[in-house]
Chains A and B, each alone.
Chain A
């Protein structure tokens, strides 16, 4: 299966290809692989922040703005799955209603579990697919509450961290790791009386870190009223130019690929390592109350040994 940009965009087929990708369909992975050289045309923007910060509203306004410039916009909105039922309630489209049925905006909601391998890996691959199918701007939206969510944000060329005055102590944000990944900070709901103070706090928090050539700006917005969005887009353009001119874009993309391939290798090894036989051995050893360090050594040696034998045919 090969990809040519001359073929008219078939929305139904694209949607189904995304589903196949989500379940690790080899034909789709192969297609992305074969078109690897064509990737990187789209500008990928990650939008993250605490629940209720207004990420979906902001993404909606950004998408609208980009549409006015005539570019095609892809949106990937990730929401958490229930660890108990495996189900998910994906509600980002509620805020995106006003984007209507514009055929140049494609929104896909994703559940955090149910993705093949790691979530970040999948979101990254999904962004690749949007890229290949000619979307100019890809907005990746995730709740910034855990490691994997932070990683998704890092699938982007530019990461926007959204916070609100009501988040209270900005220092909490620093703990969560959000402060380190932002290229741009958005103080949304800036019509709040505490916004000025919160912006000041955020500013001093940002300046605690040595940023190098690019110090993240703070943009005050009221997404629901479309206020401050033009400034946000302006700063995004500035950051995009900065990335291109300094070579940082290429560097970031390389780092991303390093991370992604490392993760894929790790997952492959892990799948081979934890076959049924070893799972049972581990449980037995624990039930026999043997020392953890000894169990570790035995399993590790057994795994290493399997390479010399040359197969893992007893697996699963």
Chain B
């Protein structure tokens, strides 16, 4: 049996606009993924803790508050500290292109802005997992 892609979708920080996160969660489910949705107002510690326990392939953050330059690096740093080296950190929100580039340079995956086709993001994540996953089902 093929191993399912597990993805954690979270909203860090204080912004309460979760429409985008929910749309993505539903799209990922419909694409056959197992989606762990943790809801609003998550701290980086909570997010990384959940990512470890759930053994996810992907952590996806939705940030519309403008705090992306703080939150993405904070989560990424914690992921590395805890040994989550084979997990993709990606996400979306209102993020200017230059910030996307800066975050990608730090090691964050591709980020998606408003108007993204959900399929585009899903394809990206599927490709990433098929290339980087270390444990394959025997």
Contacts and interface: CB of A to CB of B under 8 A. Distances in A.
Contacts of B30: 82, 85, 87
A30 to B, nearest CB: 12
A193 B38 CA distance: 31
A91 B49 CA distance: 16
Given A23-B3, A82-B29, A93 B50 contact: yes
A45 interface: no
A100 interface: yes
A87 B36 contact: no
A25 interface: yes
Contacts of A81: 34
Nearest to A108: B53
Given A15-B55, A19-B55, A90-B37, A111 B42 contact: no
A93 to B, nearest CB: 5
Contacts of A111: 4, 34
A295 B34 CA distance: 39
Interface string B22-33: 000110111111
Contact of B83 (A12, A18, A94): A12
A101 interface: yes
Interface string A72-91: 00000000011001111111
Given A23-B1, A89-B35, A114-B4, A108 B135 contact: no
A20 interface: yes
Q: How large is the interface on A (under 10, 10 to 19, 20 to 34, 35 or more residues)?
A: 20 to 34
A127 to B, nearest CB: 15
- Which of B3, B28, B45, B53: most chain A Cβ within 10 A? B53
Interface residues of B, number: 34
Contact of B28 (A16, A87, A97, A108): A87
Contacts of A181: none
B135 A89 contact: no
Interface string A20-34: 100111100000000
Interface string A96-131: 010011000011110100101000000000000000
A26 B138 contact: yes
A257 interface: no
A11 interface: yes
B3 A11 contact: no
Given A19-B55, A85-B32, A91 B37 contact: yes
B82 interface: yes
B31 A87 contact: yes
Instruction: Sort A-B residue pairs by CB-CB distance and give the 3 closest, nearest first.
Output: A94-B39, A87-B29, A101-B49
Interface of A: 11-12, 15-16, 18-20, 23-26, 81-82, 85-91, 93-94, 97, 100-101, 106-109, 111, 114, 116
Interface of B: 1, 3-4, 25-26, 28-39, 41-43, 45-46, 49-50, 52-55, 82-84, 135, 137-138
